[in-house]
Amino acid sequence: MGKSTSLRIAGLAVACGLALLSMPGSASAAPAPATKNAAAVSAASPKADALPMWKKPKNKFNGCIDSSQQNNEKFVVFVPGTDNDLWIWKENRGAGSVNPWVLFTETEGANPIPEGVVCATITAHGNNVAITIVTQNDSTQQVWQTDCTVNPDNANDPFDPNERCADFEELTPLPEATASGPAPERGRAYGSEPAPAVGAPIGPNTGDGASMSSGSGTATTAGGVLLGLAITGGALALRRRRFNSDTTAA
């Protein structure tokens, strides 16, 4: 082995060891930025941001709006968020002879709509529209739905949800996990995740191409070992070259 080849091998080995020492997680890596003080973050955030939607100040828009279309005419449902009113807008209502906005307060049976409306959606299907609402009273949320007949809708008999919508029916039970906790993976229901085996490591499985690290000391130790091997290999290469030179001279 020539002198230049031995020096190249020793240089490459030393370079590999130094590269490992500079990997993220090693002792020489730059420290992670300090996290903000929790008290400072809390003081900087307005207290109103932590309030439920129905309790936020009136100067913020806390309403809800949705739209749909039946044939060539559009529908809008709007909850202003200030007094829990429920407004219905229909394009060309009563052939344009009346205000397209109607305040929805009772059903066709003269029963009042559920109290505490905070959001609503509207969906057209056939000759009907389905109106779904969310109510909030104290800490209790409920979801309700009604179905409304749209036609006829003309100047003599304009569409009016107070006269065309059935009584609201509550949709129960509500999903318990929506109040808190992460959402499940797509296509997987709540509670269907298999429990990990007792004593099983939390992290990538060995043998699947993934690796696990025990902390910042792992990379540092590995780099130190390789650096030591590189230095030893370089010294042996130089010693072998010197021995060959002495033999040749003799």
Each residue's pLDDT expressed in tens, for the chain with a length of 250 residues:
555 555 566 566 556 555 555 555 444 444 444 444 444 444 444 454 555 555 555 556 678 999 999 988 999 999 997 788 999 999 999 999 999 999 999 999 899 999 999 999 999 999 999 999 999 988 889 999 999 999 999 999 999 999 999 999 999 888 875 545 555 556 555 555 555 555 555 544 444 444 444 445 545 555 565 666 666 666 666 666 665 555 555 5
Cα angle 185, 188, 194 (rounded to 5 degrees) comes to 95
Please report, for residues 131, 171, 222, 229, the alpha-carbon distance to residue 18 in angstroms, rounded to integers and kept in the order given: 66, 64, 11, 12
Rounded CA separation 199/221 (Å): 26
Torsion, CA 25, CA 31, CA 32, CA 37, rounded to 10: 140
| Structure token digits, residue 164 | 């065309």
Spatial CA neighbour of 114 closest among 163, 69, 167: 167
Rounded CA separation 102/77 (Å): 10
Any bridge partners for residue 78, and if so which? 65, 87
* Sequence letter at residue 22: S
* Sequence letter at residue 23: M
3-state secondary structure of 248: helix
pTM of the model: 0.50
211 Cβ contact list (under 8 Å, min separation 6):
204
Q: What share of the chain is helix, strand, coil (3-state, %, to 5)?
A: 30, 20, 45
Q: Where are the domains of the chain?
A: 3-27+218-249, 56-173
Rounded to whole angstroms, the maximal C-alpha distance in the chain is 123
